[in-house]
């Protein structure tokens, strides 16, 4: 078993199996490709084009002379029974293979960005996870896609710069796929890179799309670029109120609302942001045209639990969800979808308010 923290610059690496076949995504954001083994794209991020020496490498505005890379450390899982821990700059990430390979913690400067079980009051709905889309499988996932969420994952690869967790093959009512998640970092732009690979483990082709679901505390401000208003695709939830300003749709969650709501939207810029707890959490991915989005689903979805009753009485949370292209996956084939995460303190002069131009400009500087 491996122990201790691993430095990106270390001469030795800790490995528990064969290396992952999916390299980090490129600076343009998420990539999705289909092949026998999947390919997540290549290359690390590059510096911006501002005046040399005045940029901030962790903020996406490094000067043309480049900025010093952050230092990455990875503390590996203990025999796949404890979380992997990744740190670079102020960003702290934990991935728990025993909990469906979910991102169990994302913190900036010690402040939680993702909602914990204590915040949501739920056994499954916390942290950040992955599902196959569309949701043709029955709720909860533990009864229909348990191998993907929330059963334990294996730990096939870990070294000084990345680690991979792997699900078993789904045998439930959902699509017959397995999921691997590779975690690495862009140390120039200060981004977490997640390569999700779905492999068709069945004997027939399957229509499927990748789906990332991240939970944050109630009261979050979520926003994304769009030209059309969001729609209501689910009869179970009301459509929340939104505003459109600066070419962006803004949704301010009301944590005191007693009714659950959900919006479905076609974004135009390949990103989704959420301001919560004094930080802003940004997801960058390939933009998906409306024609390639899964039926009954959407490229961007935002769900609010509202104030819950029962065992989670008085607790609320928001899910910020992004999906990739819907496509046919041949038996034995794989598809890799890459998402980049940026987590930062809300900058001086910006507020977590719908239509705040300074906050929007800051997010745009991260994803450009």
Output the tens digit of pLDDT for each of the chain's 368 residues.
333 344 433 333 333 333 333 333 333 344 444 444 333 333 333 333 333 333 333 333 333 334 679 999 999 999 999 999 999 999 999 999 999 999 999 999 999 999 999 999 999 999 999 999 999 999 999 999 999 999 999 999 999 999 999 999 999 999 999 999 999 999 999 999 999 999 999 999 999 999 999 999 999 999 999 999 999 999 899 999 999 999 999 999 999 999 999 999 999 999 999 999 999 999 999 999 999 999 999 999 999 999 999 999 999 999 999 999 999 999 999 999 999 999 999 999 999 999 999 999 999 999 99
Q: Do the strands 6-7 and 72-75 form a parallel or antiparallel pair, or are they unpaired?
A: antiparallel
Residues 6+ apart with CB under 8 A from 101: 95, 129, 130, 153, 165, 166, 167, 179, 181
Give bridge partners of residue 211 from the DSSP assignment. 131, 323
Reading the block at residue 79, the tokens are 């025999």
**Could you tell me if 282 and 346 are in contact, meaning their C-beta atoms sit under 8 angstroms apart?**
no
User: Phi and psi for 40 in degrees, rounded to 5?
Assistant: -90, 15
Reading the block at residue 120, the tokens are 């949501």
Among the listed residues 228, 231, 233, 232, the one whose alpha carbon sits nearest the alpha carbon of residue 244: 228
Reading the block at residue 172, the tokens are 């439930």
Among the listed residues 354, 230, 364, 209, the one whose alpha carbon sits nearest the alpha carbon of residue 303: 230
Q: In angstroms, rounded to a whole number, what is the distance separating the alpha carbons of residues 181 and 81?
A: 16
Among the listed residues 73, 79, 31, 112, the one whose alpha carbon sits nearest the alpha carbon of residue 281: 112
**Could you tell me if 195 and 182 are in contact, meaning their C-beta atoms sit under 8 angstroms apart?**
yes
At residue 67, the pLDDT reads: 60
Give the chain's length. Answer: 368
Among the listed residues 168, 35, 120, the one whose alpha carbon sits nearest the alpha carbon of residue 314: 120
Residues 6+ apart with CB under 8 A from 291: none
What pTM, to 2 d.p., does this model score? 0.84
């Amino acid at each position: 078993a491996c122990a201790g923290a691993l430095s990106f610059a270390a001469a030795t690496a800790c490995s528990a199996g064969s290396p992952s076949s999916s390299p980090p995504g490129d600076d343009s954001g998420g990539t999705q490709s289909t092949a026998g083994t999947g390919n997540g794209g290549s290359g690390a991020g590059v510096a911006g084009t501002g005046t040399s020496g005045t940029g901030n490498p962790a903020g996406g505005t490094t000067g043309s002379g480049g900025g010093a890379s952050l230092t990455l450390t990875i503390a590996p899982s203990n025999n796949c029974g404890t979380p992997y821990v990744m740190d670079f700059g102020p960003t702290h990430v934990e991935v728990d293979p025993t909990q469906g390979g979910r991102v169990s913690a994302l913190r900036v400067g010690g402040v939680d960005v993702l909602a914990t079980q204590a915040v949501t009051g739920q056994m499954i709905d916390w942290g950040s996870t992955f599902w196959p889309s569309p949701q043709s499988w029955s709720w909860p996932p533990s009864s229909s896609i348990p191998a993907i969420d929330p059963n334990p994952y294996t730990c096939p690869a870990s070294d000084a710069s990345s680690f991979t967790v792997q699900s078993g093959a789904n045998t439930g009512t959902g699509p017959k796929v397995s999921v691997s998640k590779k975690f690495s970092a862009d140390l120039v732009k200060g981004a977490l890179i997640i390569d999700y690979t779905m492999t068709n483990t069945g004997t027939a082709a399957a229509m499927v799309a990748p789906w990332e679901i991240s939970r944050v505390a109630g009261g979050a401000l979520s926003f994304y670029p769009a030209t059309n208003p969001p729609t209501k695709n689910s009869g179970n939830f009301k459509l929340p109120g939104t505003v459109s300003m600066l070419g962006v749709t803004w949704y301010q969650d009301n944590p005191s609302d007693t009714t659950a709501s959900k919006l479905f939207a076609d974004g135009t810029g390949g990103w989704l942001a959420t301001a919560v707890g004094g930080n802003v959490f940004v997801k960058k991915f390939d933009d998906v045209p409306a024609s390639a989005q899964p039926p009954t689903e959407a490229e961007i979805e935002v769900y609010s639990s509202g104030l819950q009753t029962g065992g989670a009485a008085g607790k609320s949370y928001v899910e910020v969800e992004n999906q990739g292209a819907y496509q046919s996956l041949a038996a034995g084939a794989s598809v890799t979808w890459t998402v980049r995460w940026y987590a930062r303190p809300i900058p001086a002069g910006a507020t977590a308010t719908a239509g705040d131009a300074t906050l929007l400009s800051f997010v745009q500087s991260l994803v450009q």
